[in-house]
Each structure stands twice: as C-alpha cells, then as structure tokens.
Amino acid sequence: MTDPFDHLAGLTRAATDFVCGLEFADIDAETLRIARRCVLDGLAVALGGSAQPGLRPLLTYIERLGGPGEAPILGDSGRRVPAHLGALWFGTAGHAMDWDDTQLAEGPGRPYGLLMHPTMPPLAAALCASGIVAAELGAPVDGRTFLTAFCAGFEVGCKVAEAISPEHYMRGFHTSGTIGTFAATAAAAKMLRLDTEATARAIGLAASMASGIRANFGTMAKPFHVGRAAENGLTAARLAREGFGANTEALDGRWGYLAIAGPGGEPGLVRERFGRPFTMVSPGVSVKPYPSGVLTHPSMDALRFLIAEEGLTPVDIERVTLSAGSNVLGPIRFELATTELEGKFSFQFLLAAIILRGRAGKAEFTDAFVSSAACQAMQRRVETRFDAAIEEMGWDKIRSSLEVLTRDGRRFTRWADERYRGGPDNPLSDRELEEKFRDCAEGLLSASAVERLLDQVWRIEELADVSDLVRGLDWMAAG
C-alpha cells in the first residue's frame, strides 16, 4: 500500500547533502555579488536595530545569564557572550526595524509572492559561530569560509520555505522565525564542519525548536522570532556536534515538520534544486527601501512620487485614501499608530510619514515622531478601503491604488507599481544600498568607520578575518 506521505520524503537528505557538499568554488559570480549585497544590508539593519530601545531588556537578560565569551555583542565587540546568545542578540537586532530583505517565491498561492526574511538568521548564526571556530583552530575564519556557510544557510532556508505549504504562513506561523531556524542551523553546521549525519541531526533538533506566530506582529516579539531562529540554529548545530540525538529525517513524512506545520507541501519542487540556481539569484531577493512590511512599500513609493511630481506639501493634503485587497490590508492591522512598532503595521502612519517628511527611514521610526501632534493629526487624514475589484486580481502581487484630495479640491489618483522598488526587477542600486547603510549608521558610526566597513563588505571574500566586520560596527562604547 502506498504511503500517502511518500511525497514528503527526501527533503532533509537533500538539504544535508547540499550543506556538506558546498564549496566556495561552487558559488557562481552572480550569487557572490548578491550575497555581498545581502551581507551589507544585513549588517546595516542589525547595526541600526541594535540601538532600538526595545533591545535594552534583551541585552540585560543576556548579560545576566553570563557564560563563556565566545562571540561579541553586535555594537560592542569587546563585550563577549556565549555564541548562541550573541546570535540571539544579533538576529533580534537585525529584525528590530523590520528592514531586512525578503525572499521571492516561485510556487503559486504564496501571499504577495513572498516567503521569508532570508539573510538575518544565517548571517547571525555564521558570524557568531566563527568565534567558536577561530578559538578551536587558533586562527581566524576568513571571508570565503564565512560566505560559503552564509550561502548554504540562506539557500536551505529559502528552499524549505518554498517546499512547505502556503498554509504555514496563512495559519499564522511567522516564516522568518520558523523556517529561519533551518537557515541558521545549516549555516552553523557548515561553519562547525559537521558531517552529513550530524548535520541531519542538527536539522532534526531545529525542527523541534522552529517557532514564531504572527499574533506577535507589532511587538518586540516579532524580531525576537528571528533572534531565536539564529540562536536555535547555533544551539542545534552544537548539540549535534556533541552527539545529541534527533531524527535525521525530521522535515519528512507523516510526523515531519512539513506535514505538521504546513500542513504538507511539495518537496519535489526543490529537492533536486539546492543551489541550482541559488534562490538569491532566481527568483531573487527583495531589499527593503523602508523599515516596514514590504507589502506597504509600493503604496508608500506611489504617494512619495505623486507628491513630488505634483509639488504638494503637507498643508495641501486634505485626505489620502488607500484602496487594496485583504492580502495587503489584513496584516497591516493598526489604524492610528501610537508607537513606532505599531507604525510598521499602520498605513495611516506610513503614509503620514511620507507626507510630512518625504521619506520614512530610521529618523521617522521613533516613538517621538509617531506620537507627535503633527503625525497624529496627519494619520487622521489617511484612510484605507477594501476594494473587491483589487481582491479579485489575486494575492500573487502587492496591488493598491491611492487617491489624494487636496484642500483646494484637486483630486489625484495613482496605482502602486507592482514592480516594487527593491525587488529583483527594480532593485536598489549599490549606491542606494550604501545610502541605506549610512542611514542605519547615522549617529552611531563615524563617516570613516562607515567607509571602511563598506570597503570590507564589497571585497568580503578577500578578508583574512571575518570578525573584522563585527568589530567595524562598534558604537556602544563610544556612545
């Protein structure tokens, strides 16, 4: 009799073989180019996020736990903690502003055509694991070794996210926390040089730790999901290296992660395609121009460009109406935002920021600006409206339209561009990416420190010691 779960077999083995077999020479030039961009973007948002007020309780918690100084605290490399706690801090900081990149989907039925934030879990896990490896080998980890581990973790996370049923996200799981755990595990396993059997056990352990629910969107628990994914990945790899047991086919079959958390999926879509091509190349990755959910960006850009083209000022604006389907309006669940965390999930705030400042960057995503009288008043001039016609167009794209009514009675309308800025078919330039880094570094790093780090990332494969990247982000001691 045929097992109805046979189609869910083989994903763990495929992921394990890919991780253990990947060499730096296997990474093609285009993948390396995009990997550098992802690393730069990840370091930028982690730097900016490390200064967010919500991170203070986490740092207090980590320091009170104590333990061996295996990895630095991002922002203060002289302050060292156990590697898994360094990864927890790094990953949480990296998602604290909701500004990290997003994986594009290949398969049908994926909301917005997007899946997870792929960079931060493997980036945090690989960098924090490098301290363990350097101590054991008595020599620093070089850029090529780090990039290989990062690309391995990035690819495993993306392929597992592609394989699992879209119901995983629709039911309320936060994919960046759940599937991000497998990405971090793969990166850590590669850094720690686990063999195939140990890597499979690490993935088995990860399957029992992968978690995160969308109910916590709009709170500090959302970025904590990503920090926990990085921490879990490093913990799973280290436990596996010590011989701790786990199912070596934990993604597969009746009781595997895909069946339980999906439920189900199609491993056949990706099983033979790890690295063929790398997901960061095709279908690609979206780098965020704004520190909010990517499905808000096309509307923000549409309003920004409309205001600039028509020469409108905040005084001119009587009302802005955003029309969209439930796939866009549903997750953006706050109306009048009172904190910056709520603001990330509030069209009223996001569009108000564009009207008032002509931008929405680190300076705008503060409690002080969100709660200011001007911002609160402008939010009340923005409304959202469910549009059945847009809903009928489907959920595969981020679709919305804007209507702006001025105080003198003029009316302007504009559709948001489905080729949203930052996506693979409308990418941020390297210069724009550098400007994003400078925005995140504003008030934290000197201009010379920024330029030095930019140079290091653009030639990361030449670095003799990848920990130079983390040391280049120090700001706490100076602050």
**Hey, how many other C-beta atoms are within 10 angstroms of the C-beta on 172?**
13
Predicted local confidence at residue 38, as pLDDT? 98
Q: From residue 145, give the alpha-carbon distance in Å to each of 15, 24, 151, 215.
A: 19, 7, 10, 37
CATH of region 294-415, choose from 3.30.1330.120, 3.30.380.10, 3.40.50.300, 1.10.3720.10: 3.30.1330.120
Predicted local confidence at residue 84, as pLDDT? 98
Distant-in-sequence, close-in-space partners of 289: CB < 8 Å, separation ≥ 6: 297, 301, 421, 422, 428, 432, 436
For the chain (length 479 residues), average pLDDT per consecutive 10? 75 98 98 98 98 94 96 95 98 96 85 85 98 93 98 98 93 96 98 98 98 91 97 98 97 95 92 97 95 90 96 97 92 89 93 96 94 97 96 86 97 88 92 97 96 98 96 83
Predicted local confidence at residue 19, as pLDDT? 98
Question: Which of 35, 268, 263, 13 has the alpha carbon at shortest distance from 155?
Answer: 35
Q: Three-class SS of residue 202?
A: helix
The correct answer on CATH 3.40.50.300 for the domain covering 6-288+455-471 is no
DSSP 54-113: GGHHHHHHHHHH-----EEETTEEEEEE-HHHHHHHHHHHHHTTS-S-EEBP-STT-GGG
Rounded distance between C-alpha atoms, residue 157 and residue 68, angstroms: 29
Rounded distance between C-alpha atoms, residue 205 and residue 411, angstroms: 57
Q: What is the dihedral of CA 41, 344, 438, 88, to 10 degrees?
A: -50
What is the pTM assigned to this prediction?
0.92
Q: Which two tokens stand for residue 435?
A: 């400007």
Helix, strand, coil % over all residues of the chain, rounded to 5: 55, 10, 35
Predicted local confidence at residue 112, as pLDDT? 65
Predicted local confidence at residue 6, as pLDDT? 75
Q: Which two tokens stand for residue 85?
A: 């706690």
How is the chain split into domains, by residue range?
A: 6-288+455-471, 294-415
Q: At residue 318, what are phi and psi to the nearest 5 degrees? A: -95, -45
